[in-house]
Structure 1
Amino acid sequence: MTSAIVLAAGKGTRMKSELPKVLHPVCEKPMIMHILEKLEASRIQDKIVVIGHKGEMVRETIGNGVKYAYQLEQKGTGHAVMQAIPQLREEGNTLIITGDTPLIQEKTILSLLEKHQQANNDGTVLITKFEDPTGYGRIIRNSDGEVIDIIEEKDANHEQRKIKEVNTGIFVFKNKALIEGIPLVENNNVQNEYYLTDMVSIFNKQNKKFGSYLLFDNAQVMGINDRKQLEQAEEIMRKYNNRLESKK
């Protein structure tokens, strides 16, 4: 059984709009609907959407095909996931994805899930590389190449900020490991938020198995935080759609 938690509670202040961030359209469709369609195509039936800012508007757009959890205060990604935990079964795996990555492709979701299950990981993060990684959490590895931590940019030191391998915000966890680990996430950071990324170091301390899957097409995981990025996403999605049409 594979579930999905979609993080869709953010305000999206930089969008400069009254519309909740995840409802901004890309190719005439709210960005969160693109994500939910990809999850459906990936045969993920159990979907939990975490809503907050203008949540009823988001719920009205999505409808009754998903479960909902409420994040009434914006305290970070880890806190958002905590709100969805009561609706998770103990068995199976859960994909966690942010609601502002509408360019993600079905094949990427399926490959990530396959990698996670084949490696028998407790947790797996989808990573990518950017020549300019500004704004992204950096992937920290040990001398054996294992992922041992993810450092948010605001908490990273000068050397860590040079790392080009970054967190996409998309994870898969064994449900049991997630349920046991998420209460241990603390808010000891610059933002005073509960970061989902802290699960990596928590798992390492617990000797749980944490892995990564590298996505080469980094456009798929471009976050949309402002109007300019919204325009860029529209352009990229049109190219993806044209490519798919030409293959038919």
Structure 2
Amino acid sequence: MKTSAIVLAAGKGTRMKSELPKVLHPVCEKPMILHIIDKLDAIGVQDIIAVVGHKAEKVKEVVGLRVKYAEQAEQKGTGHAVMQAVPYLNKEGHTIIITGDTPLIQEKTLLALIENHTQANNDGTVLITKFDDPTGYGRIIRNSSEEVVGIVEEKDANEDQKKIKEVNTGIFCFKNKSLIDGLPLLNNNNVQNEYYLTDMVSIINKQGKKFGSYLLSDNEQVMGVNDREQLAQAEYIMKKYNSVSVRGKEVEKFS
């Protein structure tokens, strides 16, 4: 069945303190978004849609004709960004949604997410991980049966929810039909007045459909790059693993 991907690349990246769009900042001499697109190509994703906004023409200039483009003129949240890509999706098939600032994600992780999603016949699946200090991440909410029933963003979380160490990585896989049908039900009744993609978890559950999760133990892979310090850290991690040699052959773990 056809697999598409939506790459969220519209943000300004204010904390980078740079005129360069956030996703174009390089890690090991390659813009972050190209690390993502190369990996999606490598795992056989047929259609890639990049949602662009801030300095869209610059992003298009770098990425070129490798992807289709959807414009998010106003940044109204991740759910709103995905809505802009819907016209490019067929009702059938599956779609990976990934942020353009996670250059350390591995191909094998994306493949495992897709496999888990399809084998479980989920309508939606979120890639999750655990952090000792989960500050800044959306927390995974489970019911008494340990099923994922919601994701609460940091700014909307209460004190008990903030203690949860299981977090959303920002990477999802959806059945296209469930995604397309659910997006119009999103609202912006939250602290940031944004349309959160994470609210699709509760929407799918309320519809009696199946939402699952896939746990990634190596949380380095999903480190988001939001400022210069994290950019340097991502560069260090990628160089460290790409220099590993096994039997005289270079092993590319992160690129």
TM-score range, shorter chain: over 0.9
Q: What is the CA-CA distance between 1:170 and the residue it aligns to?
A: 0.2
Q: What is the CA-CA distance between 1:45 and the residue it aligns to?
A: 2.0
> 2:32: which partner in 1?
31
> 2:125: which partner in 1?
124
> 1:152: which partner in 2?
153
> How many aligned positions are there?
248
Question: Structure 2 length as normaliser, TM-score?
Answer: 0.96
Q: How does 1:135-214 map to 2 (within 5 A)?
A: 135-214=136-215
> 2:220: which partner in 1?
219
Query: 1: distance between equivalents of 2:86 and 2:241?
Result: 34
> 1:82: which partner in 2?
83
> 2:101: which partner in 1?
100
Deviates more, 1:232-241 or 1:26-35: 232-241
- Please tell me the root mean square deviation across aligned C-alpha atoms, in Å: 1.0
Q: What is the CA-CA distance between 1:13 and the residue it aligns to?
A: 0.1
Query: 2: distance between equivalents of 1:152 and 1:247?
Result: 36
Q: SS of the residue aligned with 2:66? A: coil
Please give the per-residue CA displacement for 1:100-136, whole angstroms capped at 9, x wherever unaligned. Answer: 0000000000000000000000000000000000000
What amino acid does structure 2 have at the position aligned with 1:24?
H
Q: SS of the residue aligned with 1:212? A: strand
**Unaligned segments of structure 1, at least 5 residues:** none
> 1:51: which partner in 2?
52
Q: SS of the residue aligned with 2:204? A: helix
> 1:42: which partner in 2?
43
Query: 1: distance between equivalents of 2:251 and 2:41?
Result: 21
Query: 2: distance between equivalents of 1:243 and 1:156?
Result: 40
**Unaligned segments of structure 2, at least 5 residues:** none
Report if aligned partners of 2:42, 2:107 keep a CA contact under 8 Å in 1. yes
Question: Structure 1 length as normaliser, TM-score?
Answer: 0.98
Query: 2: distance between equivalents of 1:6 and 1:166?
Result: 20
> 1:115: which partner in 2?
116
Query: 1: distance between equivalents of 2:121 and 2:203?
Result: 18
Q: What is the CA-CA distance between 1:246 and the residue it aligns to?
A: 4.1
Q: What is the CA-CA distance between 1:241 and the residue it aligns to?
A: 1.3
Percent identity for Structure 1 against Structure 2? 75
Query: 1: distance between equivalents of 2:178 and 2:202?
Result: 13
